[in-house]
Structure 1
Amino acid sequence: MKKILMISHSSRGGGAEIIFLKTADALKKNTLKIIFNSKEGFTVKKAETKKFDIEIINNFILNTSVVKVIVRFIFWNSVSIFKLMKIIQKEKFDYIYSGSIVNYIGGIAAILTRKKHVWHIHEMDNVGYQWFNPKFNFLVRYILKYSTVIFVSDGVKNSWLKRLSLKESDLEYEIIYNPIKKLNKKKDYFNAKNKKITIGCAGGFCKNKNQKFLIETFIELQKKYDNIFLKLAGDEVVNEGKRLIENKISKKKYSLYDYTDISIFFSKIDILVVPSYSEAWPLVAIEAASFGLIPVLTTEGSINELLKESENAFYINPYNSTELYEVLENIIINYDRLKSSISNNNKKLLEKCEFNKKFEKRINSIF
C-alpha cells in the first residue's frame, strides 16, 4: 500500500476533473489525500460525497498571461508549494499525482522534496488554442522530464513532444485511454429508426467548446430541413444559448439544459456534435458511440485513433464554416443507412476495448 498525494483544480467538472475522480477511485486501496485549489466546484463536491481525505490549498493554474502567472506565483503559489512540501514531509507521501497539464505546483513540490511525481496529461496542444503561454515551456519541460507521465492518447503525447522540443526517449511515460461512464440505454437502441432527427451537444458553454458554431449551422440547416431539432446541455448553456439563438430558431425546435443526466440526454438525441477548438480525448464522444448515436467530432483532437472517419464517426474542422453544414446534411439525407452502419460498427468496436478494466489495472501498475 502506497501513500499518494493527489492534486487537482475544481471547477465545472470537465474531462480532466472527471478522470481525476476516476483515478482516485482506481487507487482507493492505497492511502490517499486530495488537495484542491478551491472549496467550490464540481470536483471537490463529488470528492466530498465519496468521503476522500480532502484539504484546500488555494493556488492558481498555468494560463496564457505571463504577468498573471508570475504575480500569482509570487503572492500565492510559492506559499502553496511551501504548504504542500510540509504536508509531504510530515505525512511521508510516496507519490505526488497531478491531474492536468495546467496543475504544476505538485510537480515543483515533488522535485523539491525528491518524491516521485506522476503527471496525468489530458489536454492536447493545438495551434489555435493554447493552454499556457510558450514562455512557460521551460517549466513544463523540466517537470515532465522529472515525472512519470500518463498521456491519454498518442496524439496528446505527440503534440507536447512537438511543442516542447522533446523526444520520446526524454520521458518516462504511459499511454492510458480513459474509462467511460456506463450508460443506461434501451436494448433496441442500436436499431432504432427516427424520422425526426435531433442534433445535440453537451459541455459547459465556453469559447473552446464552440457551441456558437453548431447553433449558427443549425439556423442555416433548418431553412432547408423541417425535421431537425436541436438540444444543448451544459453549464451556462441556458443563458448563453438563448442569447445566441434569440428569435432565429422556433422555440418548438430547440431545448437548453444547464445540467441533465447524460443517459437521459443521449436518449433524446440522434447525432452528437463536438465542435471544440481543442478536445484531446472527448469521453462524451465515446459514450455517445456506445449509446448508438452518430458522433460528429472536431479534427482538433486525437479521438480518431479509436473512432475512424466514416466507419465510427464523422470529423469536421471547427475553423471551416461549411464542413459542419455539409456533414450534418449528409447525415440528415442518409440517416437510416448511416445510423445502422455506424452504430453497429461502434458496438463491435467498443465491446473489444474494455476501457474501465484496463484503466484501473494500468493506473495501479504505475504506483
Structure 2
Amino acid sequence: MIDKKMEKLNVLYICHTAHLGGAALSLHNMIHSMRDNIVPIVLLPQKGPAYELFTKNNIRCIVHHFRMNIREKSNVKHIVKFLPHYLRDKYFNLRCVNSVISELNGIKIDIVHSNASVFTIGVDLSKRLSAKHVWHIREFQDLDFNFQPFTGWKRLKKMIYASDAVIAITKSVYNHWELNKARNAYYIWDAVRSVSDICLNTNKQKYFFFLRLYYVKQKVHLLQ
C-alpha cells in the first residue's frame, strides 16, 4: 500500500499519441489510480481525443510537438537520411524540452514517466529537471509494428537500462528488451480495476496499480 501521509509527487507523464488507443487509456487509468499521491502533468505532441480526456478529468496537459525514435525495418534509405533526420530530431526535441521547462515555470518535477519505448525525450527532460526517470515499455516495436529504433537497438537499450526504473507490461516484453540488464526493472500489468469494481464505469474510484512510490529526503525510490 502507498503511505497516505506521503507528500504528493509532481509527475510529468509523456504520452506519444493524441489518439485514445491503449497507451493513452492505460495512462489515464494509471493516473486515476494514483490520484491521491501525485500531481500529474501530461505532455502530448498535439491536441486530440487524449487531450480532451485528460483535461476533462482536470489533468493538466502541456502540448508541444516532439520527435519519435522509430523507423520502418525495411527502410533502405535509412543510412542516407540518417544524419539529416537525426539533426532534425535533436532540434525539435530540444525546442520541446525548453518549452516544457518554460511552461512548468519552476514546478519541481519528481518523476518523468515515459509511457512508451518509441521516444527518448523523457531522458532529456529528466536530466534537465533533475528528476527520476521511469520508462514504461508497452511494445516490442519490431514484432508487433515492424518498427525499430531510429538510432539503433544498442543505443536505445543502453538508455532504457540506465533509467531509474523500467516497467514492462508483460513478461514477454520484459524478455524481448532483456530488461534483466536494467538497473531496476519489473513486469507489471497495466492499471486495472479491483474485483469489486468489475462493472464498466469509468467514474469508479477503485483503480489500483502495483507500484509503490516512496518519497524520502527529496529522492524517489521505486520498490517492488
8 Å CA contact 2:188–2:210 kept in 1: the answer is no
CA distance in 1: counterparts of 2:110 and 2:184, whole angstroms: 18
Give the secondary structure class of the aligned counterpart of 1:90: coil
Give the structure 1 partner of residue 169 of structure 2. Answer: 152
CA deviations on 1:93-134 (whole Å, 9 max, x unpaired) are: 111111011132112221344320011111124447433336
1:132 to 134, 148, 152: 148
Q: 2:115 aligns with which of 99, 103, 124?
A: 99
Report the 3-state secondary structure (helix = DSSP H, G, I; strand = E; otherwise coil) of the residue aligned with 1:174.
strand
Query: What secondary structure is seen at the aligned counterpart in 1 of 2:152?
Result: helix
SS in 1 for 2:27: helix
Give the superposition deviation at 1:81.
2.1
What aligned pairs does 1:24-39 form with structure 2 within 5 A after superposition? 24-29=31-36, 30-39=38-47
How many Å separate the matches in 2 of 1:87 and 1:142? 30
* Structure 2 SS opposite 1:132: strand
Whole-Å separation in 1 of the counterparts to 2:67 and 2:56: 24
The Cα of 1:10 is off from its aligned counterpart by 2.7
Q: Give the aligned residue type for 1:171.
A: R
Return the alpha-carbon distance in structure 1 between the equivalents of residues 42 and 54 of structure 2. Answer: 9
Verify the 8 A CA contact 1:7 1:99 in the aligned structure 2. Answer: yes
Residue type of the alignment partner of 2:61 = I
Task: After TM superposition, list the pairs within 5 Å mapping 1:148-187 onto structure 2.
Answer: 148-161=165-178, 168-180=180-192, 182-183=198-199
Read off the aligned partner of 1:100 and give its amino acid letter: A
Is 1:360–2:209 an aligned residue pair?
yes
- 1:154 deviates by 0.9
**Cα offset for 1:89?**
7.7
Ranges in structure 1 where 5+ consecutive residues have no aligned partner? 162-166, 185-355
* Alpha-carbon distance in structure 1 between the residues aligned to 2:59 and 2:119: 20
Post-superposition CA distance 1:243-277 (Å, at most 9, x none): xxxxxxxxxxxxxxxxxxxxxxxxxxxxxxxxxxx
Give the residue type in structure 2 aligned to 1:158: N
Contact 2:168 2:187 in 1 (8 A): yes
Cα RMSD (Å): 2.9
Total equivalences in the alignment: 190
Larger radius of gyration: 1
- 1:4 aligned to 2:4? no
2:127 alignment partner in structure 1: 111
- Alpha-carbon separation, structure 2, partners of 1:139 and 1:114: 22
Q: 1:150–1:176: 8 Å Cα contact kept in structure 2?
A: yes
- Aligned ranges for residues 311-322 of structure 1 at < 5 Å? none
Please give the secondary structure, in 2, of the residue aligned with 1:21: helix
5 Å-filtered alignment, 1:271-350, equals none
Q: Is residue 96–residue 106 contact of structure 1 (8 Å, CA) maintained in 2? A: yes
Shift in alpha-carbon separation, 1:363–1:14, aligned structure 2, 3 A: farther
| TM-score normalised according to structure 2 size | 0.72
Is the Cα–Cα contact under 8 Å of residues 174 and 186 in structure 2 kept in the other structure?
A: no
Letter in 2 for 1:159: H
How much has 1:86 moved relative to structure 2?
4.5
1:137 and 1:84 map into 2 onto residues whose CA distance is: 27
Go from structure 1 to structure 2 and tell me whether the alpha carbon gap of 1:33 and 1:160 turns closer, same or farther (over 3 Å shift): same
Compare the two structures and name the one with the higher helix fraction.
1
Alpha carbons of structure 1 residues 89 and 118: separation in structure 2 relative to 1, 3 Å: farther
CA contact (8 A) 1:26 1:363 kept: no
Structure ranking higher in strand proportion: 2
Q: Does 1:62 align with 2:69?
A: yes
1:206 aligned partner? none
In structure 2, give the amino acid aligned to 1:79.
R
Q: What TM-score does the superposition give when structure 1 sets the normalisation length?
A: 0.46
Residues 63, 69 of structure 1: 8 Å contact kept: no
Q: Which residue of 2 aligns with 1:141?
A: 157
After superposition, the C-alpha distances for 1:171-210 in whole angstroms (9 at most, x for unaligned) are 31121112447455xxxxxxxxxxxxxxxxxxxxxxxxxx
